[in-house]
Amino acid sequence: MIVTLHLVALALYALATALTLAPFMGFRSAPRALTIALPCAGAAVHVVAISQLTLIGLGPALSMLALCLVLLQLASERLLRGSAVSFFAGPLATGLVGLAILSGLTPGAEVAAGRNTWFILHVALSVLGLALLALAFIAAALYLLQFRELKARRFGQIFQLFPPLERLDQLNRFALVAGFPALTLGVLLALGYGAQFSGGLHVAKAQIVWGIFTWVVLGWAVWVRVVRHWAGRRAALASIAGFSAVLLVYVALKLTQPGAERFL
Amino acid sequence: MGIKVVGVNHRTAPLDVRERLAHGAHEVPGALARVMAAGASGGVLLSTCNRTEFYLVADDEPALEAVWSLLGERLPTGPSPEAGAREYGYIARDRDAVRHLYRVSSGLDSMILGESQIQGQVREAWEASRAQAGPVLHRLFQTALHVGSRVRTETSLGMGTASAASAGVAVAGKIFGDLAGRSALILGAGDMAELAATCLSDQGVHITLVANRTQERARAIAERLGGKAVSLEEAWPHFATTDIALCSTAAPHAVVTWERVGAVIGARRGKPLCILDLAVPRDVDPAIAQLENVFLYDVDDLQTVAAQATARRRDEIPAAERIVEEETDLFWAWYGGLGVVPTIKELRARMDDVRAAELERALRQLDHLSPDDRAQIEQFSQALLNKLLHQPTIALKQAAEEGRGYGLLQAVRRLFGMEPPA
């Protein structure tokens, strides 16, 4: 049932993504209502699927991340009129759901009572933080593409369909500034959880070292935005550097310490 | 002689060539005088940022050669300057020339389909060339303005925003999002500057400064839009703070140069600056665009944007073309009929001279005839001439009414050895 629901969500996300990207392939733009309704329906099915999962392991975490990303995409669509976010968020969320299905999605064992709040907060904040950083990355990428088109005086599909630079910059700033503390808090909750319920930290040195490295890079990206008042292209590049560090470190750690039983 | 149009436009020549070939209002009489000296009997010069066209009543040579030579002199010198101009140019003759002007005035030939500014430019060109236009071109330009009005009232070709100015607003919107509360400085105080400044103001942009060489006109615009009038020199420091700079001066060279604003813009610390250069020749040194966060757009860029926004106007093209064709027929009927009456009169006079000369020669050899007989013969010759000229006269009048008079008239004049009509 969980896999079936994920497959339905995957199909809806994929269809929404195809419709969103249609203008870039020479087809007519789909009605806006449809490109919003499809991911909404997908997210609804996805919520039902996730409610039946215990959020332990790689598959559930990826699924949760995909859901957060879709919800943020819909929010940015609604609040910031940043419809182009779906150009990146759509394929990314679809890919993450696909990976989640491939990684294995089965109902896990219940977390012991009393530990539940810590655990849910840790997972929710970490995944939300990652999704926000992904959104910051997407906004930054859209910014750089639109910036390049505007500087090069090209007035094609990107010029027409992408949001204004200023709006993308605002979206990037919001997502980065909200995502970094959320992820930091999520990690701190994991440390607290480990200390309180597992008798200490059970992580490899590599995870600590690379985790700190990622945190420093992300922290730098936030610092230059907030303290140094970077904006525009430089801020977008810093944001991309931050999210790239997260991705690279994650992939490197998964390659050196494989295993689907845990997200990290 | 016939109606000709010779020139270059946005389809045939790039912006830098059009800039060189553009004629200011003060240059028009001199340019036309040169072409008239080469044999044209009438001329109007239409010079806008998108086209430089000579409308002439002339033979093909040498008036057309004079135009190519005149335009060629403005291009970088080479082995044959007129060949350079010809490379970018075109010629339309007679009916095609009439249709061309009608399409121009109705906005069908504009870079931004259906734009209305051309109507005013056609009127200005006609007025600037009044002394040299002559009766045919007077009539042609008068009707061209009528065609432009008809197309705009009877079709939706001019509906919506499709000007370079409105495209400038759209581009600025892609940089800043909501334009309300943004600041803009305006360089220049001409019609285009005023139109674009009004477009920005309508979007909530605060027009802070209007800078111009002469402050009187700048003051009028500044007062209307709530800004302050300053000289050009006073405007440069404001490039450090303004969001949008709109440039549309009549300067013959770039006024916004790296030397004047490079350091000032550098002090913006990455804050975006949108520069809309609506002037031809361009006001802004293209090197300024190399500065980070400076977005510079010239007329060609903005017209490209506007052209995209006007795709729906294309549906109105067939209706507009029908009006142009209808009016071209009417003008051509008038033009064809213009020479018919004098030609018929001249033809009859010429034939009558021949008749009289031949009659006199014949009667000299017929001395024995009585005066009554002589009168009979003269009456016969007159009747014969009338009979012979009846059908050609009817045919010429009928062709003129049907708008085919011009071609037939030319044929008649050639067949009977008459001078071509003016």
Please write the tens of the pLDDT for every residue from B28-72.
999 999 999 998 889 999 998 889 999 999 877 888 989 999 998
pLDDT average, residue stretch A133-141:
93
* Same domain assignment for residues B218 and B303: yes
Confidence category of residue A260, pLDDT binned at 50, 70, 90? very low
A222 CA: distance to closest CA in chain B (Å): 18
CA of B276: which chain A residue's CA is closest?
A: A153
State the Cα–Cα distance between residues A236 and A137, nearest whole angstrom.
8
CA of A162: which chain B residue's CA is closest?
A: B174
Q: What is the pTM of this model?
A: 0.62
* Same domain assignment for residues B349 and B302: no
Q: Indicate the number of domains in chain B.
A: 3
Asked if residue B20 is part of any domain, the answer here is yes
The whole domain housing B273 covers 164-308
* Same domain assignment for residues B120 and B231: no
CATH number of the domain where residue B106 is located: 3.30.460.30
Give residue-wise pLDDT tens across range A218-239: 999 999 999 998 888 999 999 9
- Contact flag B305-A150 (C-beta cutoff 8 Å): no
* Same domain assignment for residues B417 and B331: no
The verdict on whether omega for the bond into residue B62 sits within 30 degrees of 0, i.e. cis, is yes
- Contact flag A160-B308 (C-beta cutoff 8 Å): yes
* Same domain assignment for residues B153 and B234: no
- Contact flag B301-A167 (C-beta cutoff 8 Å): no
* Same domain assignment for residues B325 and B362: no
B178 CA: distance to closest CA in chain A (Å): 9
From the list B174, B271, B292, the residue facing A150 with the nearest CB is B174
CA of A157: which chain B residue's CA is closest?
A: B308
What is the domain partition of chain A in residue ranges? Answer: 1-110, 129-264
pLDDT over 50 at A20, yes or no = yes
Q: B244-259 b/e with 16+ CB inside 10 Å = b?
A: bbbbbbbbeebbbeee
Asked if residue B377 is part of any domain, the answer here is no
Contact predicate B302/B171, CB 8 Å: yes
State the Cα–Cα distance between residues A73 and A67, nearest whole angstrom.
10
| Candidates A79, A80, A144, A166, partner chain B, best to mutate (most B CBs within 10 A) | A166
Question: How many other C-beta atoms lie within 10 A of the C-beta of residue B318?
Answer: 9
How many beta-carbon pairs under 8 angstroms link A with B? 43
Degrees to nearest 5, angle at CA A183 with A179 and A186: 140
The confidence score (pLDDT) of residue B422 equals 47
Q: Where are the alpha helices (DSSP H) in B213-339?
A: 215-225, 232-235, 258-266, 299-309, 317-338
* Same domain assignment for residues B6 and B154: yes
* Same domain assignment for residues B320 and B292: no
The confidence score (pLDDT) of residue B67 equals 92
Asked if residue B410 is part of any domain, the answer here is yes
Q: Where is pLDDT greater, at B31 or A193?
A: B31
* Same domain assignment for residues B141 and B259: no
From the list A150, A229, A231, the residue facing B175 with the nearest CB is A150
Is B49 an active-site residue? yes
* Same domain assignment for residues B89 and B25: yes
Asked if residue B41 is part of any domain, the answer here is yes
Q: Which one, of A189, A66, A74, lies nearest residue A130 by Cα? A: A66
Q: Where are the alpha helices (DSSP H) in chain A?
A: 2-21, 32-51, 58-79, 85-103, 116-151, 157-161, 165-197, 205-226, 232-256
Asked if residue B415 is part of any domain, the answer here is yes
Write the ipTM: 0.83
Neighboring chain B residues of A80 at a CB cutoff of 8 Å: none
Asked if residue B373 is part of any domain, the answer here is no
* Same domain assignment for residues B26 and B139: yes
